[in-house]
Structure 1
Amino acid sequence: MNKSKKVEENIMEMANKLFFQNGYKNTTMDDISKKLGMSKKTVYMYFPGKLELLEASFNLLRTRLSIKVETILQDDNLSFLMKLKSMLSAIASDLAPINPQLISDLREQVPEVWAALEDYIRTSAYLRFQRLVQYGIDQGLVSSKVNKSMVVLIYASAIQNLIDPKFLGQFPAEMIDGLELKPANIYDQAISIIFEGILTDEAKKEYTSQV
Structure 2
Amino acid sequence: MKEKVLEKATELFLTLGFKSVTMDDLAHEMGISKKTIYAHFENKTKLVEESTSHLFCRISTGIDTICALQKNPIEELLDIKKFVMQHLKDEKSSPQYQLQKYYPKIYASIRSKQYEMMQHCVVNNIKKGIAMGIYRENLNIDFVSRIYFSGVISIKDIKLFPPDLFPTNKLQDDFLEYHLRGIITPEGRKILNNLINSNQE
Query: Equivalent residues in 2 for 1:117-156 (5 A)?
Result: 117-156=110-149
Contact between 1:69 and 1:125, CA under 8 Å: does it hold in 2?
A: no
Shift of 1:92: 4.5
1:49 corresponding residue in structure 2: 43
- Secondary structure, aligned partner of 1:181: coil
Tell me how large the CA RMSD over aligned residues is.
Answer: 2.7
Contact between 2:14 and 2:92, CA under 8 Å: does it hold in 1?
A: yes
Correspondence for 1:164 among 152, 157, 160: 157
Cα distance in 2 for partners of 1:17, 1:24 equals: 10
1:88 to 2:84 alignment:
no
| 4+ aligned runs moved over 3 Å, structure 1 | 88-96, 102-105, 165-168
1:171 corresponding residue in structure 2: none
Correspondence for 1:113 among 97, 101, 106: 106
1:4 corresponding residue in structure 2: none
Correspondence for 1:22 among 16, 37, 54: 16
1:32 to 2:17 alignment:
no
1:65 to 2:59 alignment:
yes
Contact between 1:129 and 1:152, CA under 8 Å: does it hold in 2?
A: yes
TM-score, normalising length: structure 2: 0.77
Contact between 1:99 and 1:163, CA under 8 Å: does it hold in 2?
A: no
2:6 corresponding residue in structure 1: 12
Contact between 1:91 and 1:125, CA under 8 Å: does it hold in 2?
A: no
TM-score, normalising length: structure 1: 0.73
1:188 corresponding residue in structure 2: 173
After superposition, the Cα gap between the structure-2 partners of 1:61 and 1:84, relative to the gap in structure 1 and judged at 3 Å, is same
Structure (1 or 2) with the larger CA radius of gyration: 1
Shift of 1:189: 1.4
Across the two proteins, how many residue pairs are aligned to each other?
Answer: 183
- Secondary structure, aligned partner of 2:91: coil
Cα distance in 2 for partners of 1:70, 1:129 equals: 12
Shift of 1:99: 4.0
After superposition, the Cα gap between the structure-2 partners of 1:158 and 1:134, relative to the gap in structure 1 and judged at 3 Å, is same
Give the gaps of 5 or more residues in structure 2: 190-201
Cα distance in 2 for partners of 1:34, 1:8 equals: 16
Cα distance in 1 for partners of 2:93, 2:115 equals: 19
Amino acid at match of 1:36: M
Kindly provide the CA deviation profile for residues 84-130 of structure 1, in whole angstroms up to 9, marking residues without a partner as x. 32233334544552744x33433343211000111011111232112
Contact between 1:89 and 1:188, CA under 8 Å: does it hold in 2?
A: no
Amino acid at match of 2:170: N
Contact between 2:118 and 2:149, CA under 8 Å: does it hold in 1?
A: no
Contact between 1:72 and 1:83, CA under 8 Å: does it hold in 2?
A: yes
